[in-house]
Amino acid sequence: MRIMEESNIFYNDSGSFPGLNRFVDLLRVQQIDEDLDCLLGISGLKGVGKSTTSTQINKRYFERYISPGKHFGKFELKKYTAYTIDDVFTKIDELPDCSVLSGDEAVNFALGEDWMRRNRKNLKKIFTRIRTKHFIFEFNIPDIWWLDKKYRENMMSFWIHIIKKGIVMLALPNIAPGIEDRWYRKWLQKTFDKKIINYFTPAEDQMKILRKYPCYFDEFHVPKLDEVLYQEHLKIRAEKMLIKEENDEQEFMKLLTVLAYNYITQNITKMSFNEYVDKVLFDPVRDKPAISDTTLLFWVKEINGLIEEHKAFSSL
């Protein structure tokens, strides 16, 4: 047994995957001793194990700090994973202080080009909640530089990059004042412009380079998920992605309705709703109208209602 510096947390080097265990202990120190939240960016190509890495971090944390002891409580994947922006909003409020939560598909809600959308603005409030509740929150995303700069430069505490399945690099930012590129992207660009890395490049060859990276902190192995947990992950993700696709389509149709509303109310055309659907909102790919005239009428009424509410609120 060894004791972590400046902490009362013990860990056992003889346990399986001690590097992962030590990292989870370090996160706990940040939460409890340092009174901080921990935002983790987890990057890597498709299929290399981003979901596995975040799930194993959460599972180890659960077993060591939420339900510790000889007989662990059951780790519930669905409880500690958010697959959509709605999941993030809900679970931030539902989970207790000092919890773990994985944003398994961060690409769905944290991309830079999406930041100005209404839901993304609300994420600023969500991350305030993460901070006050001392959450460990993981972004899973193919490329860390896809993240909005506000997340990456000002909020992200750790960067885990997956070199190969089960092999990860851990990096920490330069938190000195006045630093614009806290993760030294220019160093990475300059270094790897001279060194081609592909799928077959040995992990050790990559690590030899990354150990010189200014933000490099550690490296460790991450075990595979057991088959039951892995199959549960696949099932939940499929369900959530189906819901997301349906919601995305509905949002797109509402956008068409706004265009239709503006077109109609500006007296550019005297078409009926039925004519408008057939001639303007016709989907050439599916060879049929994108929405029905009844749906168009309903959404136009909904938009009118929102406009009236806004006028009433503005007049107060």
Residue 235 lies in a domain: no
pLDDT band at 100 (very low <50, low <70, confident <90, very high): very high
Domain end call among 192, 225, 258: 225
The answer on pLDDT for 260 being more than 50 is yes
Q: Tell me if 222 sits within 8 A of 53, measured CB to CB.
A: yes
Residue 172 lies in a domain: yes
Residue 51 lies in a domain: yes
Gap between the Cα atoms of 12 and 105, Å rounded:
32
Please tell me whether residues 283 and 136 are part of one structural domain.
no
pLDDT tens-digit readout, 154-197: 889 999 999 999 999 999 999 999 898 999 999 999 999 988 88
Percent of the chain topping pLDDT 90: 34
Of all helices (H) and strands (E), which one includes residue 308? helix 293-314
DSSP letters for 249-263? HHHHHHHHHHHHHHH
- 185 is written with which tokens? 């992207």
Please tell me whether residues 122 and 21 are part of one structural domain.
yes
Q: Tell me if 126 sits within 8 A of 88, measured CB to CB.
A: yes
Gap between the Cα atoms of 30 and 53, Å rounded:
19
Cα torsion 266, 272, 276, 279: sign = negative
The answer on pLDDT for 251 being more than 90 is no
pLDDT tens-digit readout, 115-153: 444 455 566 677 778 888 999 999 888 888 887 787 788
Read off the pLDDT of each residue in 276-297 and give the average, rounded to a whole number: 68
Domain end call among 225, 252, 277: 225
Any idea how long the chain is?
A: 316
Q: Tell me if 12 sits within 8 A of 22, measured CB to CB.
A: no
**Which three-class secondary structure state does DSSP give residue 140?**
strand
**Among the listed ranges 22-36, 146-160, 239-253, which one has the minimum average pLDDT value?**
239-253
pLDDT at position 263 is 58
pLDDT tens-digit readout, 201-237: 999 999 999 999 999 999 999 999 988 888 888 887 7
Please tell me whether residues 155 and 24 are part of one structural domain.
yes
Please tell me whether residues 290 and 213 are part of one structural domain.
no
pLDDT tens-digit readout, 296-315: 677 677 666 666 655 554 55
Please tell me whether residues 66 and 214 are part of one structural domain.
yes
Residue 279 lies in a domain: yes
**Would you give the end-to-end CA distance of the chain in angstroms?**
66
Partners of 11 in beta bridges: 2
Residue 230 lies in a domain: no
pLDDT at position 149 is 80
Please tell me whether residues 221 and 258 are part of one structural domain.
no
Please tell me whether residues 74 and 200 are part of one structural domain.
yes
Read off the pLDDT of each residue in 54-77 and give the average, rounded to a whole number: 84
Q: How many domains are contained in the chain?
A: 2
CATH number, domain of 69, equals: 3.40.50.300
Q: Tell me if 240 sits within 8 A of 103, measured CB to CB.
A: no
Please tell me whether residues 291 and 248 are part of one structural domain.
yes
Gap between the Cα atoms of 258 and 252, Å rounded:
10
Please tell me whether residues 115 and 203 are part of one structural domain.
yes
Residue 236 lies in a domain: no
Gap between the Cα atoms of 96 and 83, Å rounded:
19
Domain end call among 167, 199, 225: 225
Gap between the Cα atoms of 220 and 162, Å rounded:
10
Residue 238 lies in a domain: no
Of all helices (H) and strands (E), which one includes residue 312? helix 293-314
Please tell me whether residues 129 and 6 are part of one structural domain.
yes
| Strand boundaries in 150-269, DSSP class E | 158-164, 167-171, 216-221
Read off the pLDDT of each residue in 225-251 and give the average, rounded to a whole number: 73
Please tell me whether residues 38 and 178 are part of one structural domain.
yes
Specify the pTM. 0.70
Q: For all residues of the chain together, what is the average pLDDT? A: 78
Please tell me whether residues 164 and 272 are part of one structural domain.
no
Residue 31 lies in a domain: yes
Q: 32: domain range?
A: 2-225
pLDDT at position 284 is 62
